[in-house]
Amino acid sequence: MIIENTGLNGMTSELAHLDESAERLGFVRWQWEYYRATYDLKLEDRAGKAEYFLRVNTRAVEGKLESPYAVLAIESIYIGRATFPHGMEYESPVPQPILNTATQRLQDLKKLLS
């Protein structure tokens, strides 16, 4: 599920600041290469016994990710349910408490980056 209207799409930040801000909120920069990075936040639904990942995609608009001064632009933001053993499923409905937590974390990230 793509999360729209977060106010984050198109925001830019230096890599070091984005890493620090995201880490403060529990995000981890998992996938990355020279020109793009993905920040993931694991959210657990104990009632439904499922794990969801809030994923923030970024792309370098200045420099490469080797440099803490590289400037990244935030692109799409989406959430999906983890599937065994290493997949993500983006079509199933997400429980409202998980969506509420995701929305709050995205608002917090926007504040830290502003």
State how many domains the chain has: 1
Is 1 domain-assigned? no
Note the pTM of the prediction, 2 decimals: 0.89
Please, which pLDDT band fits residue 47 given cuts at 50, 70 and 90? confident
- On the question of pLDDT at 86 being above 80, the answer is no
Q: How far apart are CA 13 and CA 18, in angstroms?
A: 6
Average pLDDT, integer, range 77-94: 88
Q: What is the pLDDT of residues 13-24, one digit of tens each?
A: 999 999 999 999
Is 38 domain-assigned? yes
Q: What is the residue whose two structure tokens read 């409202």?
A: 96
The range of the structural domain enclosing residue 96 comes to 12-113
Average pLDDT, integer, range 49-62: 94
39's CB contacts (< 8 A; 6+ apart) are 18, 22, 27, 28, 29, 30, 55, 56, 58
What's the CATH code of the domain at 106? 3.30.310.100
pLDDT at 66: 86
pLDDT at 44: 94
Residue 104: CA count within 13 A, CB half-sphere: 9
Is 29 domain-assigned? yes
For residue 19, what are its two tokens? 């890493």
> Which ranges in 1-114 belong to alpha helices (H)?
15-24, 96-113
Report the interhelical angle of 96-113 vs 15-24 (nearest 10°). 140
